[in-house]
Chain A
């Protein structure tokens, strides 16, 4: 039997399957990928989800609108503030509630800080995924400052729950402005360090350039949003196309890189950090006075109808669809999470590359698994 096989074709290779995850260092959580590989070359990637599925959409159907907000920062925990904001904006849109300018500006500043914190964590983890272990600690040095600001202002470092329908839960801490300014000043000197540690490294460039090529048409077809899409040269950003909060009052660019590989997605995120810093700088000195909240009823009842609101999280476009039948609970809530669509292109992108490349491609999309599973 053995000999027969050898005689037939001594160089024949066989495909085999391995499980990547649900406990695997590179999947950043409980994502399970079924890899069909031939030696090192990937033939097929089949994601298997659900290991952290809490059915938030079903839970929402039994909760009031104020309660829904608190569920959302468990989805994409790295963009928790932006997720909260998305639900609050949907409710405010449905109620036709105009929030004060102060709220809008604070939401934007905190949202951009969240984006920075998320991108910093991504940068650290990206380095780790391709083997540069030091990046993690550099990123966390700076991220710690943002988390401290959050802790001082709203009591939590990660799942912040700072938004409520109609405004904010509390006003900003008196130190907020000074500490944000100190952070911006600090991070402007530290961000070039990120480039000198990782971006310029020849091994890093060899590992990322030309890997995971995604055309613009593919990206749109697969519903990829966020830095992934902009790394393929499509300048679509919800903050520009559907401005919310104070994004229509600030000047910022949508950084795009046209190569569509891991390296350009990396560059987009680094550039986005600069843009976020610039947005914060424009707003931090001009926080208008006023209330931090519009009083709402204790039980919010949305009018009958369908409401859709999208925001740009650090990973892409988050959509919130609320179908209301006029009761205090929504009839149906759907979260269009960016990670779910970004994951669907993984198989298409990683075929033919090697295991090491798959890790780099996954890192370049910055998957957060609770965001994919919801």
Chain B
């Protein structure tokens, strides 16, 4: 683990206080708590941001009552959700019904742990980073499938089945578009990927045309994986009521809801790491200032998130067969060809 300076002092203090094994455990718990706190704050802030953006696009005012400019609106909402009675159906499969909401939120939290927020803030720099992210993030769909199945509601079931079909399909595109970029970096480790970009420029510039194609495919597939408009037919409210979480209320619903927004953050963060140089500043202007690294990272992530919100509030929804057609007939073949093109470009040394 590589830590920034003020965290290093805590690290040293802990190790001087107690035996090494205990210090390690305490440190892990502290880091986990820190990530959980970030998780909650980021989720709430993204909800608030979404509502502001939506209001701005839709000629409305948006949240502006609770706190200055409405910044505490989502905290109030969260309090309401926490204190709300948990209602559900009697005929639900209670074990699975209660278990399901934890899958998306836990898988999102695990993925968060390998993200590189800066050169020093990264909980675990696993050497199979991208592979780890792809595989863990696909666990989340189990929660949706289980929730829809266990609710004992036909609308939930349709929503869950749609979700299963959709996420399984688009996982391919996410993986392959990232694979295209991995050809450039030659490593799956996130810190390595960013190192490559420090010297050679952002990967979207290095790989130029195939990289831009890969980015577009990644954005489409990533939006689909987070079940957001135009791919939100999992919870298409005009068709299925609320989709897979129809029967959930209170905190269980909030888990699904938060997980959706954290997933959006993750998709954007991965896009930034792979395509836009992670925490690197443009043209290396502020690379020597360590504390600006997470700022750059979050700023870039914010930019991608804005793009996804823009999609959401201006696009209609696709139909289930159109979604599958898009994936299997267009994105997947394009992606495969794109990988070959990328390989040829690298072979010929035509990268920028």
Residues of chain A touching chain B, judged by Cβ–Cβ distance below 8 Å, are 16, 18, 24-26, 40, 127-134, 136-138, 141, 197-198, 201, 203-204, 206-207, 354-357, 359
Q: Could you tell me which residues of chain B, from 25 to 82, have a CB within 8 Å of some CB in chain A?
A: 54, 57-60
Contact B317 A356 (CB under 8 A): yes
Task: Of the listed stretches B168-176, B225-233, B248-256, name the one at the interface; the rest are far from the partner chain.
Answer: B225-233
Contact A137 B59 (CB under 8 A): yes
Contact B238 A25 (CB under 8 A): yes
Q: Could you tell me which residues of chain B, from 201 to 257, have a CB within 8 Å of some CB in chain A?
A: 229-230, 232-233, 236-241
Contact B318 A24 (CB under 8 A): no
Q: Which of B54, B58, B238 is within 8 Å of A131, CB to CB?
A: B238
Cα distance, A136 to B321, chains bound together (Å)? 26
Q: Which of A16, A197, A201, A354 is within 8 Å of B321, CB to CB?
A: A354
Contact B239 A26 (CB under 8 A): yes
**What are 22 A-B contacts with C-beta separation under 8 Å?**
A18-B155, A26-B238, A26-B239, A127-B316, A129-B238, A130-B317, A131-B229, A131-B238, A131-B316, A132-B315, A132-B317, A134-B314, A137-B60, A141-B59, A198-B316, A203-B318, A204-B316, A207-B317, A207-B318, A354-B321, A356-B236, A359-B238
Contact B238 A18 (CB under 8 A): no
Closest partner residue, chain A, to B313 (CB atom): A134
Contact B158 A40 (CB under 8 A): yes
Contact B314 A131 (CB under 8 A): no
Contact A137 B58 (CB under 8 A): yes
Using A26-B238, A40-B158 as known contacts, say yes or no to A131 and B232 having CB atoms under 8 A apart: yes
Note all chain B residues with C-beta closer than 8 A to A138: 58-59
Cα distance, A16 to B154, chains bound together (Å)? 9
Q: With an 8 A cutoff between CB atoms, is B322 at the interface?
A: yes
Q: With an 8 A cutoff between CB atoms, is B329 at the interface?
A: no
Contact A354 B315 (CB under 8 A): no
Q: For chain B, give the interface size range.
A: 20 to 34
Q: How far is the CB of B344 from chain A (nearest CB, A)?
A: 31
Q: With an 8 A cutoff between CB atoms, is B292 at the interface?
A: no
Contact A203 B316 (CB under 8 A): yes
Note all chain B residues with C-beta closer than 8 A to A206: 318-319, 322
Cα distance, A132 to B311, chains bound together (Å)? 10
Closest partner residue, chain B, to A204 (CB atom): B316
Closest partner residue, chain B, to A24 (CB atom): B241
Q: How far is the CB of A176 from chain B (nearest CB, A)?
A: 26
Note all chain B residues with C-beta closer than 8 A to A132: 314-317
Closest partner residue, chain A, to B236 (CB atom): A131
Note all chain A residues with C-beta closer than 8 A to B321: 354
Cα distance, A325 to B320, chains bound together (Å)? 57
Contact B57 A134 (CB under 8 A): yes
Residues of chain B touching chain A, judged by Cβ–Cβ distance below 8 Å, are 54, 57-60, 154-155, 158, 229-230, 232-233, 236-241, 313-322
Cα distance, A24 to B238, chains bound together (Å)? 8
Cα distance, A18 to B246, chains bound together (Å)? 15
Note all chain A residues with C-beta closer than 8 A to B230: 131, 203
Note all chain A residues with C-beta closer than 8 A to B313: 133-134
Q: How far is the CB of B306 from chain A (nearest CB, A)?
A: 15
Closest partner residue, chain A, to B321 (CB atom): A354
Q: How far is the CB of A306 from chain B (nearest CB, A)?
A: 42
Contact A355 B315 (CB under 8 A): no
Q: Which of A24, A136, A356 is within 8 Å of B233, CB to CB?
A: A356
Chain B CB within 10 Å, residue with most, of A136, A198, A359: A359
Contact A355 B316 (CB under 8 A): no
Closest partner residue, chain B, to A136 (CB atom): B58
Contact B322 A25 (CB under 8 A): no
Contact B239 A359 (CB under 8 A): yes
Closest partner residue, chain A, to B162 (CB atom): A40
Contact A203 B241 (CB under 8 A): no
Q: Which of B155, B241, B320 is within 8 Å of A356, CB to CB?
A: B320
Contact B316 A130 (CB under 8 A): yes
Cα distance, A16 to B161, chains bound together (Å)? 15
Cα distance, A162 to B255, chains bound together (Å)? 51
Q: How far is the CB of A367 from chain B (nearest CB, A)?
A: 13
Note all chain B residues with C-beta closer than 8 A to A25: 237-238, 241
Cα distance, A141 to B240, chains bound together (Å)? 28
Q: How far is the CB of A245 from chain B (nearest CB, A)?
A: 34
Give the top 10 A-B pairs by smallest Cβ distance, nearest first.
A131-B317, A137-B58, A132-B316, A26-B238, A356-B319, A130-B316, A129-B238, A131-B316, A18-B154, A204-B316
Note all chain B residues with C-beta closer than 8 A to A359: 238-239
Contact B58 A133 (CB under 8 A): yes
Cα distance, A83 to B27, chains bound together (Å)? 73
Cα distance, A129 to B236, chains bound together (Å)? 9
Note all chain A residues with C-beta closer than 8 A to B318: 203, 206-207
Q: How far is the CB of B321 from chain A (nearest CB, A)?
A: 7
Note all chain A residues with C-beta closer than 8 A to B57: 134
Cα distance, A141 to B313, chains bound together (Å)? 17
Contact A355 B158 (CB under 8 A): yes
Q: How far is the CB of A21 from chain B (nearest CB, A)?
A: 10
Cα distance, A109 to B283, chains bound together (Å)? 62
Closest partner residue, chain A, to B230 (CB atom): A203
Q: Which of B58, B237, B316 is within 8 Å of A201, CB to CB?
A: B316
Q: How far is the CB of B229 from chain A (nearest CB, A)?
A: 6
Q: Which of A18, A137, A201, A356 is within 8 Å of B315, CB to CB?
A: A201
Q: How far is the CB of B351 from chain A (nearest CB, A)?
A: 32
Note all chain A residues with C-beta closer than 8 A to B59: 137-138, 141
Note all chain A residues with C-beta closer than 8 A to B238: 25-26, 128-131, 359
Q: How far is the CB of B194 from chain A (nearest CB, A)?
A: 35
Cα distance, A130 to B239, chains bound together (Å)? 9
Closest partner residue, chain B, to A357 (CB atom): B319
Closest partner residue, chain B, to A132 (CB atom): B316
Closest partner residue, chain B, to A28 (CB atom): B238
Chain A CB within 10 Å, residue with most, of B58, B237, B316, B319: B316
Note all chain A residues with C-beta closer than 8 A to B320: 40, 354, 356
Note all chain B residues with C-beta closer than 8 A to A204: 316
Note all chain A residues with C-beta closer than 8 A to B241: 24-25
Q: How far is the CB of B336 from chain A (nearest CB, A)?
A: 24
Chain A CB within 10 Å, residue with most, of B54, B155, B158, B240: B240
Cα distance, A155 to B317, chains bound together (Å)? 39
